[in-house]
Chain A
Amino acid sequence: MLSYLIRRILLALFTCWAISVLAFVIIQLPPGDFVDAYISNLSASGSGISLDQAQQLRAEYALDEPIWVQYARWMRLILRGDLGMAMEWQRPVTEVIGDRLWLTMVVSIAAVVLTWLVALPIGIYSAVRPYSPLDYLFTLLGFLGLAVPSFLLGLLVLYFGFVYFNANIGGLFSPQYADAPWTGAKLLDLLRHLPVPAVILGIASMAQAIRIMRANLLDELRKPYVVTARAKGLSEWRAIWKYPVRVALNPFASTIGYTLPYVVSGSIIVSLVLGLPTVGPLLLRSLIAQDMFLAGAIVLLLGIMTVIGTLLSDLLLMWIDPRIRVDD
C-alpha cells in the first residue's frame, strides 16, 4: 500500500516533468519567436524596430541560445517559484495570471462535480430500469450532449439568454465585482454565475459519465451478491444503493482521472465564448504572441493541476476499493 503510494507519487512527478518538456517544445514549434511576432505586430501598426534592437530583445530573453539552454534557464526559474516575465505584458507571469488559474480550476471542478451530481442518479436509474421510456429519453439527451460542441452550446445559451431573458449570462462576476477585492459578496456572486458555465462545460462528460455508470451498474446488478442482499430482507432500492451502486462507483471514480483534463482543456474555448476570466483567453493570446513564458507557465500549471487531480482520484479509488488496498 505504501509502496503503491510512493510509486504513484513518483509517477506523478515524472509526468509533471514530461509536461514541462512538452509544453516548452510545443511552444517553440511554430516558426519564429516572440521577437518576430513582436516585430510583425509593430509593423502591422505602422512602426518598426531595427535589427539591433531585435537582437537586443532576443538577448534579453535568451532567445538566441540553443533550445535546451533556454529550457534549463526556464526550469531553474520555475523551481525557484518564479514563472518569469510575460514578455508582451512586461509584467511578471504570476501577476498576469492572477486569479485566473484558480478560477479555471473552480470552473472545471464545478463542471466535474456537476457531472457527477447529474450523471450518477441518471445512470443508476437507467441501469435499474433499462429500456424504460425515461432510459431512452436520457440516452437521447446524452447523445445530443455528446454531439453538440460545448462552444456552440455556449453561444446558444448566450443568445437565448439575451433574446428571451435580456440577461447577459456570460462571465463569472457581475460588473461591479469584476475587479473588486475578494469579499463574501464577491464569492456569492461567483457561485451565482458558476452554474451556467459548469453545465455547458460539463455536458459532454456528463453524457459520457451516464453511459459509464449505466454500463457498470448493469454488470453489477446481475451479480449474485445483489440476490444475497435481497434475500436478507433489504428493500430493492436499499439493496441496490448499498451494494451494486457502491461497487459500480469504483471504476467510475477512476474516470475523474480523464474527465478533469478533458474539462480543463474544454474550458479554454468555452471561456473564450462566455467571456470567463480564466486562463483560457490568456493562453490563446499568449500563443498568438509567442509569449513563451506566459504560455509555458499556463500549460505547465494546468498540466500539474490535472496531474494532482488524477493522483487524488487514484487515492480516492484506493481508499474506496478494498481489493486494491489489500492486493498490494
Chain B
Amino acid sequence: MGDRVMGDGVIGDEGGGAVRAPLLSVRDLKTYFFQDDGMVKAVDGASFDVFAGKTLGIVGESGCGKSVTARSIMRIVDRPGRIVGGRILLRSAKGTGSNEIDLAQLNADGAQMRAINGGEIGLIFQEPMTSFSPVHTVGNQIVEAIRLHRAMGKQAARDRAIELLRLVGVPRPEGRVDEYAHQLSGGLRQRAMIAMALAADPKLLIADEPTTALDVTTQSQILNLLVDLQERNGMAIVLITHDLGVIAEMADDVVVMYLGRVVEEGPVDDIFHAPKHPYTRALLRSIPSVDSPPRRKLPTISGSIPHPYNRPPGCPFHTRCPDVMPGLCNVVEPPLVPVALGQMAACFLYPEVRAATAAPEPAAGGGRTPAPLLPTAVGRR
C-alpha cells in the first residue's frame, strides 16, 4: 500500500497510471453534535482512504467516533449531529476516467445520496436482533432494498432476495425469506443483514462491529463469509471493531482513532509490528497473547478517556501518554503526516510531524527536549 499519496486533499488520480485512486477518501472529516449542554466533537478531523477490493480496519476505544464516522459517510448522522467540515470523496468508475462526488456536499436526504446508500455503499452493524424491523418479514425488507435500486418486479426481487440469502449461507432460504427477524438465530440474522446490504451489489461495505454480539464460532463464520464475498465481488470493506484480533485477521490497512481523530494509519503489518503512535502501542499491549502467563493482569492504558465535552487542547492523547512532552503536546495539535513508508502518525515524537507544524520546538515550553526520546521511539520493538 505504499502507492498512496496522502497530502491534504492531493490524491493520486493519473487516470490509468500505475497509481490506483482510492474508492473512498475521507479528508479532515468533522462531525459535531450540537446539544443544549455542550458540543460533542464526535469526529474531529478524520482522514483515510479505502481501496477497492481491500479491507480497511478502524480501531479505537469505545466512544472515539468510529460509528459516527461510518454514519457520516452515509449521511445518516442523528440529529443534533452535523458534518461541519471536511470532504468525503466517493469515486465511481462509471464512464471514462473517474468522477468523484463529495458526499459531504450532498443533500443528506436527496435523491443522489439515497441512490448511493444501499446502491454504492452497504451497511451492516452490531445489533443483529434490532437491525431488522420486528413487524416486517426479513424478505420484505430485503426486497425493499433491492427494489429501491433496481427496476425489478416484486417476484423477480423476491427471487433475488432468496438468491442473496442462499449466497450468504442461510439454509432453506425459500422458507426463511418469509420469517421475522425474531425467528432467526443471531448468526442467521447477521447473514440476512449482509444479504440486505448486498442487495444492489455495493462497491463498499461498511461493517460496524459486525461480530461483537455473536459467539466466537459464529463470529469467525461471519468474518469468513465477508472475506469470501470480497474475493467474489471485489468490494471494499470498512471494518470497524475494537477487537485487534479481528483486525489482524481481516484488514489490509488500519486506521487508529482516538477521540474523534485518526492518530495513526498504515498497512496492518506495520501497525502491528512497528506501531508509531504511543496510543497504538498501548492498545497493542492490552491484547492478551497466548504466550503471556496466565492470570496476569493485562496492561491497561492509564487514565481514562477525557469527557467529549472538554477535549484537552493539543494532542488529545497527551493526558494519558507515557511519552508526553509538556509545552508541546498539550499546546499544539499534531497533524497526521507520513512518518515511515506508507505509515502516518500524528505525534510530535517524529520530526516529520514537528516539521509539518509551525509549532515551536518543545524547549520553548517545558525545558525538556524530545531529542533523547527519539531513538527508542523510532526503533522497532
Nearest A residue to B140, CB-CB:
A242
Contacts A228-B196, A232-B144, A235-B114 given; does A323 touch B125 at CB 8 Å:
no
Residue A236 lies at the interface, judged by CB distance under 8 Å to chain B? yes
> A231 near B74 (CB under 8 angstroms)?
yes
A234 touches B132 (CB 8 A): no
Whole-angstrom CA separation of A224 from B134 in the bound complex: 11
Q: Tell me, rounded to whole Å, the shortest Cβ–Cβ distance linking B302 to chain A.
A: 34
Given contacts A224-B125, A322-B135, A322-B180, A233 and B130 within 8 Å (CB-CB): no
Report yes or no: B134 in contact with A247, Cβ–Cβ below 8 A. yes
Contacts of A235 in B (CB 8 A): 109, 114
Tell me whether A231 and B114 are in contact in the complex, defined as CB-CB below 8 angstroms, given that A225-B132, A225-B133, A321-B135 are known contacts.
Answer: no
Bound-state Cα–Cα, A142 to B28, Å? 45
Among A224, A236, A321, which residue has its beta carbon within 8 angstroms of that of B130? Answer: A224
Contact with B along A227-252 (1 / 0, CB 8 A): 11111111110000011001100100
Interface SS of chain B: mixed
Interface size, A (range)? 20 to 34
Q: Least Cβ distance of A231 to chain B in Å? A: 4
CB neighbors of B among A231-288 (8 A) = 231-236, 242-243, 246-247, 250
Q: Does A12 contact B (CB under 8 A)?
A: no
Q: Complex formed: what's the CA distance from A227 to B199 in Å?
A: 16
State whether A320 touches B135 (Cβ < 8 A): yes
Q: B115 within 8 Å of A by Cβ?
A: yes
Are A232 and B135 in contact (CB-based, < 8 A)? Answer: no
Q: Which interface residue of B125, B136, B193 has the most chain A CB atoms within 10 A?
A: B136
Contacts of B130 in A (CB 8 A): 223-225
B residues less than 8 Å from A326 (CB atoms): 180, 182-183
Shortest beta-carbon distance from B185 to chain A in Å: 15
Dominant secondary structure at the A interface: helix
Within the complex, which residue of B115, B131, B135 is in contact with A233, where a contact is CB–CB below 8 Å?
B115
Give the chain B neighbours of A225 by CB distance below 8 A. Answer: 130-134
Q: Tell me, yes or no, whether B184 is within 8 Å of chain A by CB.
A: no
Within B104-146, the residues touching A (CB, 8 Å) are 109, 114-119, 121-123, 125-127, 130-136, 141, 144-145
Given the contacts A231-B74, A232-B148, A247-B135, A323 and B180 also touching, CB distance less than 8 Å: yes
List 5 additional A-B contacts (Cβ < 8 Å) besides A233-B114, A233-B145: A228-B193, A234-B114, A234-B148, A246-B133, A323-B135
B182 & A323 in contact (Cβ 8 Å cutoff): yes
For the complex, is B20 an interface residue (Cβ under 8 Å from A)? no
Query: CB-CB < 8 A to A228: which residues of B?
Result: 123, 131-132, 141, 193, 196
- Chosen A-B contacts, 29 in total, with CB atoms closer than 8 Å, are A223-B130, A224-B127, A225-B132, A225-B133, A227-B71, A227-B76, A227-B125, A227-B131, A228-B131, A228-B141, A230-B76, A231-B123, A232-B117, A232-B118, A232-B145, A233-B114, A233-B117, A233-B148, A234-B114, A234-B148, A235-B114, A236-B109, A243-B136, A246-B136, A247-B135, A320-B135, A323-B135, A323-B182, A326-B182
Q: Give the A-binding residues of B (Cβ under 8 A).
A: 71, 74, 76, 109, 114-119, 121-123, 125-127, 130-136, 141, 144-145, 148-149, 180, 182-183, 193, 196-197, 199
Q: Which of B127, B133, B197 contacts A247 (CB 8 A)?
A: B133
Interface residues of A in 297-328 (CB under 8 A from B): 320-323, 326
- Interface centre among A224, A228, A229, by most chain B C-beta atoms within 10 angstroms, is A228
Assembly CA distance A234 to B140 (angstroms): 14
Query: Which residues of chain A come closer than 8 Å to B135, judged between CB atoms?
Result: 246-247, 250, 320-323
**Which B residues lie within 8 Å of A320 (CB)?**
135
A175 to chain B, nearest CB (A): 50
By a CB distance below 8 angstroms, the chain B residues around A321 are: 135
Do A231 and B76 touch across chains, with their CB atoms under 8 A apart? yes
Residue numbers in A under 8 Å from B196 (CB-CB): 228, 232
List of 3 A-B pairs having minimum Cβ-Cβ separation, nearest first? A233-B118, A231-B123, A232-B118
Residues on the A chain within 8 Å of B180, using CB: 322-323, 326
Bound-state CA distance A315–B133 (Å) is 21
Contacts of A247 in B (CB 8 A): 133-135
* Shortest Cβ gap from A39 to chain B (Å): 62
Residues of A within 8 A of B121 (CB): 231
